[in-house]
Amino acid sequence: MTARLRFGAQLVKFSSWPGHTLRYFPSFDGLPMFWIMLLLSTLLLGIERVSYWYVWNHPQCFAARIHRWPRLTRSDPVLALQRLFYGFKAIQSAVLFGWCIWFGGDWLPLPTAPGMALLLGVLAILIGQVLNFSVMWRLGQQGVFYGNRFGRPVEWQTGFPFSLLPHPQYFGALLSVWGFMLIMRYPHPDWIALPLVSTAWYAWGTQVERD
C-alpha cells in the first residue's frame, strides 16, 4: 500500500506499511526538511520546559486553574503536575522516536552506533536513570513536583545525588537523551541535533526556575 503527498511542487511517494523503507522529503517549498523537523522538534520539546517555568513562577495561578478539572487532578497541584510530567515524557519520546523514524528511513528504526559509541550510549542512559530515580527517592513526590511552591513542607537535601550536581534530575534527563540519540543515530550527522536542543532548553530551565 502506498500513499502520495504533495509538498509545494514536489510529489513524494512512500510506503505506508511498517518495515518498509521511507523516502525523505528533501524540501518543503524550498526549505530543507532537516530545518523544518528541527524547528518542530524544538517547539515540542519546549512545551515541558515552558510549562515548568510557568508553574514555578506562577504556582497560585496554576493551582487555581487545575480546580477546573477536579476529576483528573483531585484539585491537587502536585498531582496535576505529576500527571503533566507523564504527558511531557510521552511528547519527548514521540519526538525522539519520530526523529529516528524520519531520518532513519524506516518505521522500525534500529541502533546505528558502532561498538564503542553503543557502549557509551548505554552507559549514559544508565547513569541518567540512576540520577533520576535517586532524585525521586530523595525528594519524593512533593519535592520533585514543586510541592514547596504550593506551600508544602519539603526539606532541603544535600545528600546524593545533590552532593554531586546542582540539578541532578535535569542532568540525568539530558544524559538519557544524549545516550539514546547516540545509540540510534550515530554516526549520522543529525544525531547531535536533538541533544543540543534539549541541552539548550534544560539550561534555560535552570536559569528561570530560581527563587
pLDDT in tens, the chain (211 residues): 333 333 333 333 333 333 334 444 455 555 688 999 999 999 999 999 999 999 999 999 998 888 877 776 777 899 999 999 999 999 999 999 999 999 998 899 999 999 999 999 999 999 999 999 999 999 988 889 998 998 888 888 878 888 888 889 999 999 999 999 999 999 999 999 999 999 999 999 999 887 6
C-alpha–C-alpha distance, residues 54 and 188, integer Å: 36
Note the pLDDT of residue 27: 55
Nearest CA-CA partner of 160 in 171, 145, 149? 171
pTM for the complete prediction?
A: 0.82
Tell me, yes or no, whether 12 lies in a domain. no
Q: Are 44 and 96 in contact (CB under 8 A)?
A: no
C-alpha–C-alpha distance, residues 17 and 46, integer Å: 31
DSSP assignment letter at 114 = -
Note the pLDDT of residue 44: 98
Tell me, yes or no, whether 83 lies in a domain. yes
DSSP assignment letter at 22 = P
Here the cell at position 79 is 498531582
CA distances from residue 79 to 41, 66, 69, 72, 147 in whole angstroms, order as listed: 27, 10, 12, 9, 10
Tell me, yes or no, whether 168 lies in a domain. yes
Note the pLDDT of residue 128: 96
**Domain extent for 162:** 33-208
Tell me, yes or no, whether 8 lies in a domain. no
Q: Are 23 and 101 in contact (CB under 8 A)?
A: no
Amino acid in the structure at residue 126: L
Structural domain count of the chain: 1
Tell me, yes or no, whether 70 lies in a domain. yes
SS (H, E, C) 7-55: ECCEEEEEECCCCCECCCCCEECCEEHHHHHHHHHHHHHHHHHHHHHHH
Note the pLDDT of residue 156: 82
